[in-house]
Structure 1
Amino acid sequence: MALRRITQETFDAAVRENVEEFEMDPDEALKDAVDQFQSQGVDLSCIVKAVPAEPSDDKQQEQTHKILQTLESLSLAQESENVTKAAAEVKSFTEQCLHGFAERYLAGQKGAYPIILSQCQKSLGEKEAILGAVTALAALTDGQPDLLDVEGKGFLLDVLKKHHADSSITRAAISTVRHCCLKHEQNRQDLVKAGVLPLLTDAIKQHGGCADVVKEAAGALRFMTFDDDIRVSFGQAHEHAKMIVLQHNGLKVLIESAKAHSDNTSVLSELCATLSRLAVRNEFCQDICDLGGLKLMMTLLADSYESAELVRQILSAIRAVAGNDDVKDAVVKAGGVQLIVIAVNRHMTVSAVCEQGCACLGVLALRKPINCQVIMEEGGVLAAVQSMKVHPDVLNVQKQACMLLRNLVSHQPNYSQLILEMGVEALILQALKTHQDCGDIAKAALRDLGCKVELRELWTGKGGGITN
């Protein structure tokens, strides 16, 4: 059942009523209001759960939240052209936006975007002022991509061109681009058409030594390949990925950056995640291998196995490039199977690592009997079985483990008995019982393992005709 929504005004009125009518102190009044609304099934994720602040001056007759007071002060400073006051209010506004999404949402609902964009445009020619203004815009648009309009898109491109040499301003502008492209297909398409992709790749090359810029720009490129806007039937994710690779040399740019930041796990995680999104064609997978990307991944997997997040992203990238059959062989020849098994065993309690590890091994086993043998010998099945035992409630772990088991025996049925002796039948049946979405792949695994399984034919196309 969908949760109910209320306005900020309704919530504030309830808090005020608790104070005035029931004589509660402010903290008690706030807690009571939260408890009452939550008990009624109200979604408070967009509500600032704080007692409205007292007016900052005599002109403000009503109590309101601090972020709105700051917004009002910024607007007045703009009207009076008080540059120093405006800069201070922009900084305060940014800090309040960072408190949480509710503050950003309230500000956005009360007209913050045009005020902040106006401040950005007025500050375009001055480095210190523009940095503060763009940082505020990045903070405001986090989680609110619908705020960005045509004027704002043009402004972001102008900033990236005019201040391309300044790493701090570039980072803030790219952060805004990234926020506005998450779950918003139209913003992605508009920015790509306007030429944002070369600005992002150029930022990585120009500021290759700045980890923050590289991380933000790689993330922005990755977001351009998403298809996550439920309002759009068909996006341009695949086309954007091809443009990044073919027109802007994205693979080389990212791989070279990874080599330059080999000791920064946060940057490497982002770069690996972006590479995995660009491996959308067989030749791109091969290009990543030829450019030294696969060798780099193997090295990172061996040297950085302590970081679960980096391991997860490396495994995801290997899984993506191993869609190419030649790359599959290269991974196995480089000792990839052993490294993957070690990584999964090392982070057995992390479901995301287990999921990606099983998925990696499943891809390597697909249509490759020789690779299946290596996986069996290196303990890949044992790692998958243990993953299923440790994470029985995680659907994707169960699905990827079942897929691996199926791929191992589909062309090598002689492995079935060895695998069954590890107790996988009971685990698969449990997954089948626990997860409805695991049904098809779990039954396929049981079938290929030679176990008894009920395969229901839901519709045969026969029977009575359609009646009105």
Structure 2
Amino acid sequence: MSKKRITQETFDAAVKENMEEFEMDPDEALREAVEQFESQGVDLSCIVKAVPNGPSGDSQEDKIHEVLQVLGALQIKKDSASVMEVKADINCFTEQCLLGFAQRYLAAQKEAYPVILSYCKKSVEEQEAVLSVLSALAALTDGQPDLLDADGQQFLLEVLKKYQADSSVTCVAICAVRHCCVKHEQNRQDLVKGGVLPLLTGAISQHSGCAELVKEAALTLRVMTFDDDVRVTFGHAHEHAKIIVLEHNGLKVLIQAAKAHLANTSVLSELCATLSRLAVRNEFCQDICDLGGLKLMMTLLADSYESADLVRQVLSALRAVAGNDDVKDAVVTAGGVQLIVIAMNKHMGNSSVCEQGCACLSVLALRKPNNCKVIMENGGALAAVQAMKSHTDTVNVQKQACMLLRNLVSRTRNFSQAILDMGAEALIIEAIRTHRDCADTGKAALRDLGCQVELKELWTGKHGSLTN
């Protein structure tokens, strides 16, 4: 059931009442108001939970929240002042928006977007001015992509084209593009049609030494392949991934960028995560391998296995490219199984690493008896069993581990007894009992391991209702 909502004015009135009627100090009045509304099931995520403090006046009624105070100043001057004349106010507005979503939401409710956009249009010819207003636009649209309109899209594309050689402006512009594309399919499609993809890949190539820009651009490319807008039945995620690879050489750009930042785990994590989103075709998986991507991933697993986040992203990328059967064999030949198991054992307490490790081994084992042998010999099954023991409450770990165990024995039944001796049967039964989503995978694993399992026949093809 959705929570109740209130306006900022209602919340502020309650705080004011606590201060004036019950003579509470500001902090106590604020705490009381928060507790009162939360006890009534009110969602306060969009409410600025602070006592209005400006401008100064004798009465609390004269005071407004600082984000609205600075917005008001910008609104008054928007038709007469240049960006540089109000730069301090713009920077203050940006700082206020960065405090939290509630400040950004309140500003947007009071028509902040058209005010900021009016300054954006004035700023295009001056680097310092455009950097200032871009930061404000990026901050305001974080979590509010619906604010962007056609004029805003045109401004972002114009800035990206005009300032391609300026890494600082480009980085902030890309950040604004990303904020406007998360959970907003129409913005993604419009910006792709406007030519944003070559600007993103071009920025990575042109500024390959700028770690922050490479991270931001890689993440924004990945956002272009998302299918996260619940308002849209069918998105263009797959199409955008194909365009990035086929028309803008995205795979090579990302792999070359990774080679330039081998000591920066956060950059490498972003690049690997984006590569995994682009491996949407069999030939793309092979291309990643041929371009040196597989060798790079093996190197990262061997040299940077201490970083759990990087390991997780590398495993996710390996899982994606191993959808190609030839790449499966290449991963195993390159010693990938040993490295995956080492990484899992090193980060056994990390559910995300265990999930991706099991999923990766599961893909390598699928339809590949020789690979199954290598996985068994190098402790892959034992690592999966240990992951199930360590993360009993994490459904995805349980599910991926069950899938791996099933794939290991589906064509090589002689491994069944060894896996059962590890205690797999009891763990799988417990996973089925605890997690509804594990039922089908878990029962299939039990069946292929030769265990007793009850399989329900939902429909026999005869007339009548479906059985429960």
TM-score band by shorter chain is over 0.9
Residue deviations 1:269-325, cap 9 Å, x none? 000000000000000000000000000000011111111111100000000000000
1:269 is the counterpart of 2:277: no
Deviates more, 1:165-174 or 1:437-446: 437-446
Q: Secondary structure at the match of 2:256?
A: helix
Q: Partner residue of 1:73?
A: 73
The CA distance in 2 between the partners of 1:292 and 1:220, in whole Å, is: 23
**1:91 maps to what in 2?**
91
* Distance in 1 (alpha carbons) for counterparts of 2:253 and 2:84: 40
For 1:184, the equivalent position in structure 2 comes to: 184
- Indicate the residue corresponding to 1:198 in structure 2: 198
Task: Tell me the CA shift for residue 459 of structure 1.
Answer: 3.1
Q: Indicate the residue corresponding to 1:451 in structure 2.
A: 451
Alignment of 1:6-17 (within 5 A): 6-17=6-17
Give the Cα separation in 2 of the matches to 1:49 and 1:63: 15
Residues 285 and 320 of structure 2 are in contact (CA less than 8 Å); yes or no, is this contact kept in structure 1?
Answer: yes
Q: Aligned partners of 2:54, 2:21: CA distance in 1, in Å?
A: 19
Q: How far is 1:138 from its partner?
A: 0.6
Contact persistence 2:57–2:63 (CA under 8 A): no
SS in 1 for 2:305: coil
State the AA in 1 paired with 2:158. Answer: D
Deviation, structure 1 residue 78 = 2.4
**Which whole-Å CA distance do the structure 1 matches of 2:271 and 2:382 have between them?**
30
Q: Report the Cα offset of residue 63 of structure 1.
A: 2.0
Deviation of residue 83 (structure 1)? 4.4
Rounded to whole Å, the distance in 1 between the matches of 2:285 and 2:142 is: 32
In 2: Cα distance, 1:124 partner to 1:77 partner: 18
Q: Within 1, Cα distance between the matches of 2:173 and 2:432? A: 47
Q: If the length of structure 2 is used for normalisation, what is the TM-score?
A: 0.97
Residue 172 of structure 2 is matched in structure 1 by 172
1:383-425, Cα deviation, whole Å (9 max, x unpaired)? 1111111111111101100000000000011111110111111
Instruction: Supply the AA of the counterpart residue of 1:336.
Output: G
Per the alignment, in what secondary structure is the counterpart of residue 414 of structure 1? helix
Q: 1:461 offset after TM fit, Å?
A: 4.1
Q: Which amino acid aligns with 2:254?
A: L
Alignment check: 8 A CA contact 2:365 2:372 kept: yes
Partner of 1:53: 53
CA pair 167-294 structure 1, distance change in 2 beyond 3 A? same
Structure 1 segments unaligned to the other structure (5+ residues) = none
1:183-232 deviation per Cα after TM superposition (whole angstroms, max 9, x unaligned): 11101100001110111111111111111111111111111111111111
Distance between the aligned counterparts of 1:174 and 1:38, measured in 2?
37
Tell me how far apart the structure 1 counterparts of residues 331 and 9 of structure 2 sit (CA, whole Å).
58
Contact 2:56-2:62 at 8 Å conserved across structures: no
Alignment of 1:351-430 (within 5 A): 351-430=351-430
One-letter code of the match for 1:242?
K
Q: Tell me how far 1:86 sits from its aligned partner.
A: 1.2
CA–CA separation in structure 2 for the residues paired with 1:157 and 1:79: 24
Matching residue of 1:325: 325
Amino acid paired to 1:430: E
Equivalent residues of 1:55, 1:61 under 8 A apart: no
- For 2:238 and 2:82, how far apart are their aligned partners in 1? 47
- Residue aligning to 2:161: 161
In the TM superposition, what are the counterparts of 1:132-151 in structure 2 within 5 Å? 132-151=132-151
Change (3 A) 1:327 1:464: closer
Q: How does the TM-score come out when normalised to structure 1?
A: 0.97
Aligned with 2:375: secondary structure? helix
Task: Work out the CA distance in 2 between the residues paired with 1:308 and 1:96.
Answer: 33
User: Are 1:104 and 2:104 counterparts?
Assistant: yes
Match of 2:223 in 1: 223
Residue equivalent to 2:22 = 22
Which residue does the alignment assign to 1:431? 431
Does the aligned pair in 1 maintain the 2:82–2:122 contact within 8 Å? no
Q: Structure 2, unaligned stretches of length 5 or more?
A: none
- Give the alignment's Cα RMSD to 1 decimal: 1.6
Q: Summarize deviations over 1:43-75 as a string: whole Å, max 9, x none.
A: 1111111111232579x9632111011111112
Correspondence list, 1:275-290, <5 A? 275-290=275-290
Q: Which amino acid aligns with 1:367?
A: R
